[in-house]
Amino acid sequence: MADVQGRWDPRYEEVVTTLSASLDAGTDVGASVAVLVGGEPVVDVWGGWADEARTVPWGRDTITNVWSTTKTMTFLCTLMLADRGELDFSAPVARYWPEFAAGGKGAVEVRHLMSHTAGLSGWTEPLAPEDLADWEKCTSLLAAQEPWWEPGTASGYHAVTQGYLIGEVVRRITGETLGTWFAKEVAGPLGADFHIGLPAAEDARVAVVIPPPPPDLDQLRPSELVIRTMTNPPLDATYPARAWWRRAEIPAANGHGNARSVALVQSVVAGRGEARGVRLLSAAGCDRIFEEQIHGTDLVLGSEYRFGMGYGLSSGMMPIGPRSCFWGGYGGSLIVMDQETELTVCYAMNRMEAGLEGDLRGAAILMAAAAARVGG
């Protein structure tokens, strides 16, 4: 069996075995897994290699780009602001960001940004990849354009735009970028090694993601909406190897961390606002997550999704508990929180699988952890 480093409660041995088997099979090159119960770690492990050539071992403090798992950090920031009375999810976005009212968007509410229902899943004006590092350009274009469908009527996954949309609202309220506010108000108090906008000094610890094989577009037959969402600019898995991507703040997609740091932050949700003695949300403020915003076939992802306030909720596509929520990232990373069992499970890796959904590696880790929690 592949060597797995770290610490774990013997009752969660199957979680470790599952990771080891994936490393043995080559479905993983390098990965980390964390399981917390009541905010305390019962599994904190890692194994494999930090590089595709398999020359650098994945270490305790190796970090990687977790793609859209970053969104859960963005959601937590907005929930905290709402809990403090500084943000109203039912208010028009234009209350905080007046320019956003252009293009007939005066009635679009903050909750629409949270649930991918704002009709802004991509940019109408052409963008070069490096433009994603230009905050003002990305947000100004979104403020000016018209929605691609009637806001509030359906979700259409805002794969990259969601971070700019929510992030600009946070910036208008706090006067700080989302990455800066997150570092000060969330990561700092918790001692979490997670970064939205990675300092150059941390580059040596990064396990660069290994891009998946390109999708067969002829077989997928994507809709015009999917093409517009995913190709302007193209969602290219080589971006995380580039300095401009790492230094930028892209709050929907370029967060760097590992399973330990992601799970530590998101265990606040499982703990109804508190983790390891640090309270970031009131219990009532945390409950806002479970207010269903939309449920149906997502216009971009093409599968059934049920969105609460930011987070994905239990549905046919992701049958988790009634007080559970989740999200994952392009290529396979996954974070799931369950308030009933106080369980938080995270999987973060470097070898990406194709597509935005359908990867079973994180699900296997989750099932092993949930079974151990019930059995324990």
How many Cβ atoms are within 10 Å of 56's Cβ, its own excluded? 13
Structure tokens at 163: 């971070």
In three-state form (DSSP H/G/I as H, E/B as E, the rest C), the secondary structure along 125-194 is CCCCHHHHHCHHHHHHHHHHCCCCCCCCCCCCCCCCHHHHHHHHHHHHHHCCCHHHHHHHHHHHHHCCCC
Q: Is the pLDDT of residue 357 over 70?
A: no
**Mean pLDDT of all residues in 272-277:** 96
Distance of alpha carbon 209 from alpha carbon 257, whole angstroms:
12
Strand partners, 348: 32
pLDDT at position 217, please?
57
**Mean pLDDT of all residues in 183-188:** 98
Residue ranges covered by each domain of the chain: 4-375
Distance of alpha carbon 84 from alpha carbon 101, whole angstroms:
25
* Alpha carbon of residue 51 to chain centroid: 22
Confidence of residue 235 (pLDDT cuts 50, 70, 90): confident
Q: Is the pLDDT of residue 375 over 80?
A: no
Structure tokens at 57: 């071992």
Q: Is the pLDDT of residue 225 over 80?
A: yes
Q: Report the sign of the C-alpha dihedral through residues 13, 329, 195, 91, in that order.
A: negative
Eight-state DSSP code of residue 360: -
Instruction: Give pLDDT tens digits for 145-154.
Output: 999 999 999 9
Distance of alpha carbon 77 from alpha carbon 210, whole angstroms:
29
Strand partners, 338: 324, 343
How many Cβ atoms are within 10 Å of 42's Cβ, its own excluded? 22
Amino acid 176 reads E
- Range in 7-21, 106-120, 342-356 with the lowest mean pLDDT: 342-356
How many Cβ atoms are within 10 Å of 313's Cβ, its own excluded? 23
Strand partners, 306: 295
Instruction: Give pLDDT tens digits for 191-211.
Output: 999 999 999 999 999 999 999
pLDDT at position 2, please?
81
User: CA separation (Å) from 132 to 45, 83, 227, 238, 306?
Assistant: 33, 30, 18, 14, 28
Q: Is the pLDDT of residue 283 over 70?
A: yes
**Mean pLDDT of all residues in 343-352:** 98
Confidence of residue 332 (pLDDT cuts 50, 70, 90): very high
pTM of the predicted model, to two decimals?
Answer: 0.97
Structure tokens at 121: 């899943």
Eight-state DSSP code of residue 353: P
Averaged confidence pLDDT in the chain: 96
pLDDT at position 358, please?
64
**Mean pLDDT of all residues in 7-33:** 97
Confidence of residue 220 (pLDDT cuts 50, 70, 90): low
Instruction: Give pLDDT tens digits for 292-313.
Output: 999 999 999 999 999 999 999 9
Catalytically annotated residue among 20, 22, 68, 121: 68
Q: Is the pLDDT of residue 354 over 90?
A: no
CA trace torsion 350, 356, 360, 365 (10° rounding)? 60
73 burial (CB, 10 Å; 0-12 / 13-18 / 19+) is buried
Eight-state DSSP code of residue 198: -
CATH class of 4-375: alpha beta
Instruction: Give pLDDT tens digits for 85-110.
Output: 999 999 999 999 999 999 999 999 99
How many Cβ atoms are within 10 Å of 248's Cβ, its own excluded? 22
pLDDT at position 9, please?
98
Q: Report the sign of the C-alpha dihedral through residues 213, 218, 223, 229, in that order.
A: positive
Instruction: Give pLDDT tens digits for 70-81.
Output: 999 999 999 999
The structure tokens 């049920």 sit at 306
Catalytic, 68? Answer: yes
Confidence of residue 213 (pLDDT cuts 50, 70, 90): confident
**Mean pLDDT of all residues in 236-241:** 96
**Beta strands 40-48 and 64-65: pairing type?**
unpaired
